[in-house]
Amino acid sequence: SEKTSNCEVNEREARKTESLARLAEKEREREKEVAELKQQLEDKQRKLEASRARSRVLENNQSELRGRLATLLEKTTHDDQLIAALTTQLASASDKSQDRSATNRLEQHNRLLENQLSEEKSKLTNLQSVLRDKDKELADLEEKCINLQNATSSESTERSRSTSIPSTEQIHTNSTLETLGVTAEAERVRLLELLAVNNKRLEQERQSAIKAQDALRKERHKAARLETKLARQELEQLSAVSCYHNTSHHKSDENPSEELKCRLELLQEELMYLRSRLVNVEQEKYEDLRTYTSMLEHTRLVFMESVRSMSTALSSTT
């Protein structure tokens, strides 16, 4: 019985020791958890303080930006008022100088038109020079063809003395030369016809340009007189002392201004028409030049082919 009681006592002590060990282990775990929670709490507090500091900085920035925005709005309002005043002054000045600026634009358009006309005349002169060169080249080709034909005919005459029946190559050579001569003459006639048409068209365009320049000079003289009259009326209007005279001058000033505007619009339309005519003439001259070049190139190819065929025939004959 004593052994049994001792065993029970030992078991109870062992259980107590084990329970105490468990309690100590749990206590250590709890202390560890508490330490971790404290650490997390400190981290959260630091983050909260940082967020509060950042919030204060952002609030300060926002206040500063609001102040800047108010300043910009005030400045924008002042700028709008200044722009409105300047726009009013500009509109008033533009109304006064509208006729003069229209006259200046008309003169600029006239100078531009004269420059374009001079450029077109220069292009036509160059085209005529090119045509003369091509005619000279065609004449040289015809001369070479005639010389070659004479040489071939003399050679065929010498051969006919030694033989009574002409060869097939000689007949082919003579027919080729005749064909070449006919072709060259036809091409020359066509070139002369096209050159005559071109000269006629150029003369018509010159007459139209002269008439347009005369009309433009007349209208410019009228515009100058109207502008002088308008300036005189403005001076009279400034020197007048009574409201009646001011009103009467203002009424009399409207009609010349409107008349000047109408004439300027008509002149601008005429300038646009002349400009379109110049563009059309330039296109026509370009087409004529391309046609001349194509015809001369065709003639040159026919001549070279004939020369090659004659050379082949002569070499085969010899």
Taking 80 as the threshold, does the pLDDT of residue 207 lie above it? no
Within 10 Å of residue 267's Cβ, how many Cβ atoms? 22
What's the rounded mean pLDDT across residues 97-119? Answer: 69
Across 57-61, 62-66, 216-220, least confident range: 216-220
Q: Where are the alpha helices (DSSP H) in the chain?
A: 2-96, 98-162, 168-239, 243-317
Q: Dihedral (C-alpha) 113, 118, 120, 126: value to the nearest 10 degrees?
A: -170
* Structure tokens that stand for 276 in this block: 């379109």
Q: Residue 238: CA atoms inside 13 Å, Cβ hemisphere, count?
A: 5
pTM over 0.75: no
List pLDDT tens digits, range 221-262. Answer: 776 777 777 677 667 666 654 444 444 444 444 455 566 666
What is the rounded average pLDDT for all residues in the chain? 71
167 in helix, strand or coil?
Answer: coil
Q: At what angle do helices 98-162 and 168-239 cross, to 10 degrees?
A: 170
* Structure tokens that stand for 41 in this block: 């709490």
What's the rounded mean pLDDT across residues 152-159? Answer: 57
The answer to whether the beta carbons of residues 124 and 202 sit under 8 Å apart is: yes
